[in-house]
Structure 1
């Protein structure tokens, strides 16, 4: 396998779970196409507009702190090789590899659909999470502005919302975020994986550079927007050396909340990540996977509730201790932000708020 410029995955391997067709070498001309024609061009990004019947997804997972979410996009051009959302593309008969970061879906009706849900007589407010599957501020948000439309609706209806991103483009909506923060309706988390821009380009090729994410955290904090840094994911022998530095840089920007998450490799993510390791870090690929398995009960991934978010073993204990010591020294704690659900007011379907 060889790296593809501007992309995280090094292949378009199909999902084995759904029996998607996989082309095998059979001796025809396509087996020698690159020898004759040269390397194939890097895949271009395409966007398909999707028009679902609903946009608010509910979950009953006992180990995550929200029960509803909005995902404005499917797939993510950031191309993070470790992204746990990659397997979702297999449901579209698309590859969790290159297809996930090149064949994107946008939902331009998201805000209108959410308005209908919020207007229902039985609806009860609780924080809506954005960025739980794919990034709400990936590059195509600059064109579609779907995330902004949803935030505008949340401000209009006084509905609490949380955002998770690895893009400094969240600052495009600083006007809305500031107003939501004034009403205790917003919390923002920005994930930072390393402080090395070269490593970042390998891991997450189209995400914002680490320095830009740190600076964005500072801008949010200065504007009074509750913002925390997430050292996520931590990859042993690849990014774990940056843990204390990331916390220190964020604290220097006035950020007081911090979390960390160990890498997770569900379904097709594990073989894609192994390909990435063999391509970029063949000298330590075995060590990385052995360390991950030591924290996941001997497997590439632990899918069980609660333990999937809490790795165990000596390496996990060491990382947990390092994080706690660094956070305590820097005066950082859990990002415990109490959002206000009591201000919610139902919208009317014509866009006018009720007077009652």
Structure 2
């Protein structure tokens, strides 16, 4: 791809049309020529943090194949820019594009800690693990400035409530003190996403994420402090990172992970168009091969929304991926599994006081 035309530091290379909007935004050639002649920037490519104040923060997860019942997301949109991210589609509900807008228009839920506290103090609420980052990464770059995730962790600690986390950013180690306090009562489990051991692959798939070296060190540091870690080898993309499964599993084990999990890439909604545009520009020599193999995993289409199939895939290639993952588990994680989190303490601490009876 010509570096002069590449949107540097981003995954998506375009803003696709928002299906909920009537009007279509186009960058016309005559406008581009005007900007060139007058030496004006068409787009400065900067991120913008936009404060929002939702009425609720804890979401009930109705999908049966994501492995969680409740989730919360301090941020909407994600600067990490992972080209395959399933959360891109949700940005359309806020009036933005699932493409570049998802990476550059970050909605900041500043009242998340207060909403969380209100939720878990309700009389009818029964403790069940709430997963931070069920949609977008709670340790994306915005967290350095706003510290909303850290504030939420302190709420979980105050009320002895179990919390799960999903991230691909070493920034989580900033909060090691709070995580260790949660772990004393078995209230924390962490999922670290590692998609490749190749820095070249990481940079093009996940342009603003922590390096692989730092991510593996994060797994090691968390594990050495007794915090259970599951490594997410997800998503597996045929002919991009599918050959790395065994090596990724070994690296996870060597750095102290207790278990591994995976998903097969699926490109629902606008993500299919975004990914197809990206791979044609970034990997033109194997674009057709990769797209055709993804389609083979989903009944001939990039867009597969069927529960039970969308993350697992089907067909010959998907079966090969599942077999390789099973071999990896047998070789490195034969008895490995994440512990169940403690849901028994919250009731006694819901009011900030111990109950006598």
TM tier, shorter chain? over 0.9
Aligned twin of 1:66: 68
Residue 13 of structure 1 aligns to a residue whose secondary structure is coil
Q: From 15, 21, 37, give the equivalent of 1:12.
A: 15
Q: Does 2:171 match 1:169?
A: yes
Q: From 221, 224, 227, give the equivalent of 1:225.
A: 227
Aligned twin of 1:279: 281
Asked if the contact 1:258/1:333 (under 8 Å) is kept, the reply is: no
Asked if the contact 1:160/1:341 (under 8 Å) is kept, the reply is: yes
Cα drift, residue 355 of structure 1: 4.5
The CA distance in 1 between the partners of 2:57 and 2:89, in whole Å, is: 20
Q: Which stretches in structure 2 are left out of the alignment for 5+ residues?
A: none
Cα drift, residue 73 of structure 1: 0.2
Cα drift, residue 322 of structure 1: 1.2
The CA distance in 2 between the partners of 1:194 and 1:275, in whole Å, is: 21
The CA distance in 2 between the partners of 1:47 and 1:347, in whole Å, is: 35
Asked if the contact 1:251/1:332 (under 8 Å) is kept, the reply is: no
TM-score normalised by structure 2 residue count = 0.93
Cα drift, residue 41 of structure 1: 4.8
Residue 346 of structure 2 aligns to a residue whose secondary structure is coil
The CA distance in 1 between the partners of 2:290 and 2:66, in whole Å, is: 26
Aligned twin of 1:268: 270
Aligned twin of 1:111: 113
Q: From 149, 152, 159, give the equivalent of 2:151.
A: 149
* Structure 1 residues 234 and 183: alpha-carbon distance in aligned structure 2, compared to 1, 3 A threshold: same
Aligned twin of 1:312: 314
1:152-204 superposed Cα distances (whole Å, 9 cap, x missing partner): 11111111110001111111111111121221111101111111112211111
Give runs of aligned pairs for residues 197-346 of structure 1, distance below 5 A.
Answer: 197-332=199-334, 335-345=337-347
The CA distance in 1 between the partners of 2:93 and 2:335, in whole Å, is: 38
Residue 22 of structure 2 aligns to a residue whose secondary structure is coil
* Structure 1 residues 309 and 236: alpha-carbon distance in aligned structure 2, compared to 1, 3 A threshold: same
Q: Runs in 1 of length 4+ with deviation above 3 angstroms?
A: 16-20, 37-42, 331-336, 345-348
The CA distance in 2 between the partners of 1:104 and 1:331, in whole Å, is: 37
Give runs of aligned pairs for residues 73-84 of structure 1, distance below 5 A.
Answer: 73-84=75-86
Cα drift, residue 354 of structure 1: 3.1
Asked if the contact 1:259/1:335 (under 8 Å) is kept, the reply is: no
TM-score normalised by structure 1 residue count = 0.93
Which deviates more, 333-342 or 242-251? 333-342
Give runs of aligned pairs for residues 14-93 of structure 1, distance below 5 A.
Answer: 14-23=17-26, 25=28, 29-36=30-37, 37=39, 40-93=42-95
Number of residue pairs matched? 351
How large is the RMSD of aligned CA atoms in angstroms?
1.9
Asked if the contact 1:119/1:346 (under 8 Å) is kept, the reply is: no
Asked if the contact 2:11/2:207 (under 8 Å) is kept, the reply is: yes
